[in-house]
Amino acid sequence: MIASNRIADGTFRVGVGLQKAWGVQMATAFFFGEAGAGLYFVAQFFGFVPGMVAGLLMVLFGKAGGHVLHLGQPLRGWRALTKVRTSWVSRGLAAILLFVVAGALHVIDVRAGVLPAGVSQLVAAVALAACFVIMVYQGFAMSQSPAIALWSGGLMPVASLTYALLNGVLLTLVFGFGEHFLAERPDTVRLLQVLAVALMLYGLVTVLCLLNGARHASEGGRQSVAMLLQGGFARWFVPLVIGAGFVVSALMMLAAPPAFAWMLAVAGLELTGYYAFRVLVFKAGGYDPALSFAYRFRH
Amino acid sequence: MAKWGMVFDLRRCIGCNACAVACKQENSLPDGVFFTKTLSEEVGEYPDVTRSYVPTICNHCEDAPCERACPTGATYTRPDGIVMVDRDKCIGCGTCIVACPYDQRTRLEPEMLNKGLFGDGRLTPFEEQGIGRFTAGTVVKCTFCHERVDAGLLPACVATCPTEARIFGDLDDPHSRPRQLILERRGRQPLPEKNTNPRVFYID
């Protein structure tokens, strides 16, 4: 019998321990980060100012606010800018600051036209680049370390980017409903709908690949996946992340009539699935047994 | 310059937890915080069953993922290989906790420092003198008792272990006892597949 293949959380037993350092506050910050940055990214593509403003506010208050609430010493938070060379958290904070400043400048410039043409383009490019970093860095921050097999897969940044783009497309369809850039061009609405379905399918495959990779990576990964698909978290993960977040929302989007309530419902389902993904992946993150080879000495 | 490291002799560990008590006393650790733990594991099937003990500690990895992930530089490695946390720089983001494959870091929540070892909200004189070492909201971990090591003493857990299951010394010195044990008894690092190159070895 091998005793190390079990959850030994909070006990003095050999086994898989669950991480507790990142919880709902971090999940909320990640949620707003990817939803806000995704919305800004798509909105800037269409020059849709209300969407850009909403994206900026989501990042500024939702993401940054969530991180501040999470920190043990929030007044020292500025120190997180000092290790950009090695830490993805540091790089992310730098990107947030750059994004908020450049994004706000770009929004003002689009409305008031205060910047010269060259500077205006530069500011727009910087805002977009910083926004892109926010869309992916959370995945890199999670996969940077080999500690938690569920997180350390190379597909985590891909999942972040996919979710961010998907959130951005859906929120643009909601916020932009009735706006001239969509109302006057039904083909654009259709294009965004097809893009959303494609991203849902891609996101579903990415999440399944993440789980498959973690399952075969280590004992901790296997236990994490078991918790998500069969254990205590399965009643949330399967219906919300897989069902509502991908399958139902994709089917609804395929059959979508041009109605605001329908778009809102699809976006709501997808965002619920995404938030559940963030929370549950944090909660199910498991460390491998510290000395998983101990029993091998005896056999 | 010495490169400090530790060897755990699994044959000798009897799971008495004297190391954990000595560590808590030396470092005035609050309730719920352990820098070292002795985990137990049942192995085998009836009637051939045995219980083994696995002491765990911060492995002071040569390629420490916690140091790499720390966004403030609060986690750093001393020239003698001891991985430390600067409590004045730590922001309590927890990135190092999720980066450590060995789950050896703890964030000090304010209630941990205030509730007292007896859980009645009052601090004993022992706790009062020790609580000044800590800052709520920052991360703490084993330091190999660096003050003791700097003074030429052994870490408290090593000095206390009644069976000498913990052997501490300079891993760069080919004649040191831990180095000899690692060579003679094929010392293994915990979770070598994580590529962290720990300075803690297990022998059996």
pLDDT at A293: 47
pLDDT at A144: 85
Q: Do B10 and A13 touch (CB under 8 A)?
A: no
Q: Given this model, what pLDDT does residue A299 score?
A: 43
Whether the predicted interface score ipTM is above 0.95: no
The model's pTM is 0.92
pLDDT at residue A8, as a whole number: 78
Contact A76 B91 (CB under 8 A): yes
Identify the residue among A156, A291, A298, A299 best suited for mutation to test binding to B, counting B beta carbons within 10 A and taking the highest: A291
Q: How far is CA A193 from the centre of its chain?
A: 20
Neighbours of B189 (CB within 10 A): 20
CA–CA separation, A232 and A217 (whole Å): 21
pLDDT tens-digit profile of B189-202?
Answer: 999 989 999 999 99
Q: What is the model's pLDDT at position B124?
A: 85
State whether residue B43 sits within 8 Å of chain A by CB.
yes
* DSSP secondary structure code for residue B151 in this structure: T
Asked if B91 lies within 8 A of A291 by C-beta distance, the reply is no
Residue of A nearest to B138 (CA): A72
Q: How far is B116 from chain A (nearest CA, A)?
A: 19
Are the Cβ atoms of A71 and B93 closer than 8 angstroms? yes
Encode chain A in three state secondary structure: CCCCCCECCCCCECCEEECCCCCHHHHHHHHHHHHHHHHHHHHHHHCCHHHHHHHHHHHHHHHHHHHHHHCCCHHHHHHHHCCCCCCHHHHHHHHHHHHHHHHHHHHHHHHHCCCCHHHHHHHHHHHHHHHHHHHHHHHHHHHCCCCECCCCCCCHHHHHHHHHHHHHHHHHHHHCCCCHHHHCCHHHHHHHHHHHHHHHHHHHHHHHHHHHHHHCCCHHHHHHHHHHHCCCCHHHHHHHHHHHHHHHHHHHHHCCCCCHHHHHHHHHHHHHHHHHHHHHHHHCCEECCCCCCHHHHHC
Say if CB A162 and CB A206 are below 8 A apart. Answer: yes
Measured CA to CA, the distance from residue A89 to residue A138 in angstroms comes to: 8
Closest residue in B to A21 (Cα–Cα): B94
Which residues in chain B have Cβ-Cβ distances shorter than 8 Å to A156? none
Contact B39 A290 (CB under 8 A): yes
A108 HSE (CA, 13 A, CB side): 11
- Look at A2 and B68 and tell me if their CB atoms are within 8 Å: no
State the pLDDT at residue A1: 46
For A296, counting Cβ atoms within 10 Å of its Cβ (0-12 exposed, 13-18 middle, 19+ buried), the class is exposed
Query: What are the residue ranges spanned by the domains of chain A?
Result: 17-298
Domain boundaries, chain B: 4-203
CA distance A169 to chain B (A): 30
Contacts of A72 in chain B (CB under 8 A): 90-94, 107-109, 136-139
The runs of H, that is alpha helices, within chain B are: 18-27, 65-69, 95-99, 110-114, 125-131, 146-150, 156-160, 177-184
Q: Which residue, among A59, A77, A61, has the nearest Cα to A132 in the 3D structure?
A: A59
What is the pLDDT at residue A69? 94
Which pLDDT score, from 0 to 100, does residue A243 have?
Answer: 96
Contacts of B50 in chain A (CB under 8 A): 298
Residues 145-174 of B with CB under 8 A from A: none
Longest dimension (CA), chain B: 54
Which of B90, B103, B78 is CA-nearest to residue B194?
Answer: B103
User: In the prediction, which pLDDT does A294 show?
Assistant: 44
Report the C-alpha gap between A287 and A244 in whole angstroms: 29
Q: Give me the residue from A73, A87, A285 closest to B69, CB to CB.
A: A87
Q: Looking at the complex, does the CB of residue B113 fall below 8 Å from at least one CB of chain A?
A: no
Q: Which residues of B touch A22 (CB under 8 A)?
A: 94, 98
* Cis peptide preceding A116, ω within 30 of 0: no
Give the number of beta-carbon pairs within 8 Å between A and B.
Answer: 166
- How far B55 CA lies from chain A's nearest CA (Å)? 9
| Contacts (Cβ under 8 Å, ≥6 apart) of A265 | A252
From B193, which residue of chain A is nearest by alpha-carbon distance?
Answer: A146
Q: Which of B127, B139, B157, B104 is nearest to B30 (CA)?
A: B127
Which CATH class, in words, describes the domain spanning A17-298? Answer: mainly alpha
Could you list the pLDDT tens digit for every one of the 299 residues in chain A?
455 557 777 788 888 999 999 999 999 999 999 999 999 999 999 999 999 999 999 999 999 999 999 999 999 999 999 999 999 999 999 999 999 999 999 999 999 988 999 999 999 999 999 999 999 999 999 998 889 999 998 999 999 999 999 999 999 999 988 888 888 888 888 899 999 999 999 999 999 999 999 999 988 999 999 999 998 899 999 999 999 999 999 999 998 777 889 999 999 999 999 999 999 999 999 999 877 544 454 44
Distances (CA, A) of A38 to A129, A203, A276, B177: 12, 14, 18, 57
Residue B72 touches chain A, beta carbons under 8 Å: yes
Output DSSP code: residue B188. Answer: B
Contact B194 A146 (CB under 8 A): yes
Instruction: Work out the minimum CA distance from A277 to partner chain B, whole angstroms.
Output: 18
Cα–Cα distances (Å) from A200 to A246, A277, A279, in that order, read: 5, 14, 19
**What count of other Cβ atoms lies within 10 Å of the Cβ of residue A277?**
26
Instruction: Tell me the CB-side half-sphere exposure of residue B79, using CA atoms within 13 A.
Output: 3
Rounded CA gap, B109 and A72, in Å?
A: 8
As its CATH architecture, domain B4-203 has 2-Layer Sandwich (3.30)
pLDDT in tens, chain B (204 residues): 899 999 999 999 999 999 999 999 999 998 889 999 999 988 777 888 888 899 999 999 999 999 999 999 999 999 999 999 999 999 999 999 999 999 999 999 988 888 887 878 788 888 888 888 899 999 999 999 999 999 999 999 999 999 999 999 999 999 999 999 999 999 999 999 899 999 999 998
